Structure 1
């Protein structure tokens, strides 16, 4: 039996959570629900899309005729600047706190039909520098800035126009708080960063590495919970997104294009995912224990129509996966770096 091809548990050192891995279950017959795929070719411009250039949004604001990226404050943001007058509650079983912040929408391109892997490296470099510019502006006011994207209807994305979001707030979100605690604990024990050490071992092993370049690595983490979950890690000692320089930005754009192209080519579809960057909180006196990284959580399991559902045991006990991280990495490594749409039209 090859290494790890038996039922076992793996620990996520960032969150402290465990995942149950059951590789033998991947061979079971599937009679469950399937998702519909959308193979319709979108137009470059959609007259009723609120994110397309020169179109009107829900608040009667008209978008400019933008030529690359376009950022605006979300018309229906989950966070606002207004601080509510809250009644004080001292009962520890009903603890709460008022939350303020800002939510921005980042349109990646004026072209309604393109997704991240279909953008050029230059276009994606503009996306990365737009993320950086907004991060730096928001970091003057807020401690935590979340840059993320939900791609595809499966992930609840209501608009196919290529875009992501940035949410900024002062409070430490649960994911960031857990990662900060565990990275700091590791740093105090080892006098080195958790993700820096982890990356060195993954590079030496090379089993779960998908692609890499001078500044970035994309890999399937040892503790992955989602079938084709990946991480992007900075090779350099970068702790916050605002620290990325121009060379690192272009290098990141190239890696994003390659990784998302490989995703699309696994099942020859527009591969859905939720993706987000984790940066050190800006208010830390010392963030030496941090390393900038991104998480990709795609839901597809066996095909473009079969989704992994986090239910039952996953909701009530702990995460469970059938496809081992090593098998997922092998599938992604074998996927072409030429987008399947380009192959079809060649």
Structure 2
């Protein structure tokens, strides 16, 4: 894989990850522009969580026509976010970032009853392919392997930025999930704090270790493998299963069979094996309702500096689709109280996914 870094017209970084040794023209011909606007963090003392306020994102691009897609290669007299006529995989700093390094968007004179600080961090867009009409499931195993390597590369490099505490790689697929661009892509967030989900999960793992002396994630994986009823697919290096307490009508966790803290720790064999298993899982998801399934695919990996010995890398994948033509909405119990009500038994979902094998 050939890695080449350049700068866009407004100073944002763009990085090409090519599967060949082709040389690239790296100049962005667009006129110079100001850098992206910074955001703000405000602390909710009731939940002890940071909330990101990024008002500039109200104007971000929303479901443009194919001819106006900003993630397609440039050409035909139209310049996109990617100033190249073709590419394999490319990452670049988001034009409308939720988090960014820069001056805070407030002057500090307004008093608030809660702590606030600049929304420092970095948000990258990761384009999986130049083909606008493709989806992750359409990619070759080689391309998926390239993407795994890119996830590991970006995790490693973003973890070295000053103040970054956690790196989160994810993909949102489908407008039902909230996708605003149809082009096949994901995102990578570098947070300046540990996210609430990670903090709560690792605190649970800490208490479990103090109580039992064992690893919570490893024991959860072992229990599911032994039970077997919710396992969808096992390979030499990975296991995909529906969790026993699944919140979503379609939900999977994909664990490496060997505990690693983050994506950079995966071996070549584990990366190769994941590429094949993941394409198989995505194909099953689309066959579940005979239509492309909207989903979120989220990598859970260790924070940069704390509790790394407690973390166990895994991919969480879930969908709001509960039946053909029906979506799962976060209504009163879920949205207000945080108590999920799942209309589909996890064992039923696992059985249906096993039957959806090619």
Shared topology, TM-score over 0.5? yes
Q: Residues 60 and 302 of structure 1: is their aligned pair in 2 closer, same or farther, counting only changes over 3 Å? A: closer
Give the Cα–Cα distance (whole angstroms) in 1 for the partners of residues 295 and 103 of structure 2. 33
Query: Cα RMSD (Å) of the superposition?
Result: 2.3
Which residue of 2 is the match for residue 293 of structure 1? 314
Which residue of 2 is the match for residue 140 of structure 1? 160
Q: Residues 165 and 289 of structure 1: is their aligned pair in 2 closer, same or farther, counting only changes over 3 Å? A: same
Deviations 1:221-275 (A, max 9, x none): 1111100111111211111122122221111111210111100000111110111
Secondary structure of the 1:67 match is coil
Superposed, 1:1-346 pairs within 5 Å as: 46-54=66-74, 61-84=81-104, 87=108, 94-141=114-161, 142-284=164-306, 287-303=308-324, 305-317=325-337, 318-337=339-358
The answer to whether the Cα contact below 8 Å between 2:240 and 2:252 also exists between their aligned partners in 1 is yes
Give the Cα–Cα distance (whole angstroms) in 1 for the partners of residues 107 and 171 of structure 2. 32
Q: Residues 293 and 48 of structure 1: is their aligned pair in 2 closer, same or farther, counting only changes over 3 Å? A: same
Give the Cα–Cα distance (whole angstroms) in 1 for the partners of residues 75 and 206 of structure 2. 47
1:96 CA displacement: 3.5
The answer to whether the Cα contact below 8 Å between 1:147 and 1:164 also exists between their aligned partners in 2 is yes
The answer to whether the Cα contact below 8 Å between 1:107 and 1:162 also exists between their aligned partners in 2 is yes
1:46 CA displacement: 4.5
The answer to whether the Cα contact below 8 Å between 1:89 and 1:95 also exists between their aligned partners in 2 is no
Which residue of 2 is the match for residue 33 of structure 1? none
The answer to whether the Cα contact below 8 Å between 2:72 and 2:82 also exists between their aligned partners in 1 is no
Secondary structure of the 2:275 match is helix
The answer to whether the Cα contact below 8 Å between 1:180 and 1:280 also exists between their aligned partners in 2 is no
1:177 CA displacement: 1.1
1:64 CA displacement: 1.9
Gaps of 5+ in 2: 1-64
The answer to whether the Cα contact below 8 Å between 2:137 and 2:279 also exists between their aligned partners in 1 is yes
Give the Cα–Cα distance (whole angstroms) in 2 for the partners of residues 162 and 155 of structure 1. 14
1:79 CA displacement: 0.7
1:143 CA displacement: 1.8
Give the Cα–Cα distance (whole angstroms) in 1 for the partners of residues 135 and 217 of structure 2. 29
The answer to whether the Cα contact below 8 Å between 1:274 and 1:298 also exists between their aligned partners in 2 is yes
Give the Cα–Cα distance (whole angstroms) in 2 for the partners of residues 61 and 68 of structure 1. 15
The answer to whether the Cα contact below 8 Å between 1:86 and 1:98 also exists between their aligned partners in 2 is no
Give the Cα–Cα distance (whole angstroms) in 2 for the partners of residues 59 and 82 of structure 1. 26
1:62 CA displacement: 4.3
Which residue of 1 is the match for residue 11 of structure 2? none
Gaps of 5+ in 1: 1-44, 338-346
The answer to whether the Cα contact below 8 Å between 2:97 and 2:122 also exists between their aligned partners in 1 is yes
Query: Whose strand proportion is higher, 1 or 2?
Result: 2
Question: After the TM superposition, which parts of structure 1 deviate over 6 Å for at least 4 consecutive aligned residues?
Answer: 88-91
Give the Cα–Cα distance (whole angstroms) in 1 for the partners of residues 109 and 193 of structure 2. 18
Secondary structure of the 2:297 match is strand
Secondary structure of the 1:288 match is coil
Q: Which has the higher contact order (CA 8 A, sep 6+)?
A: 1
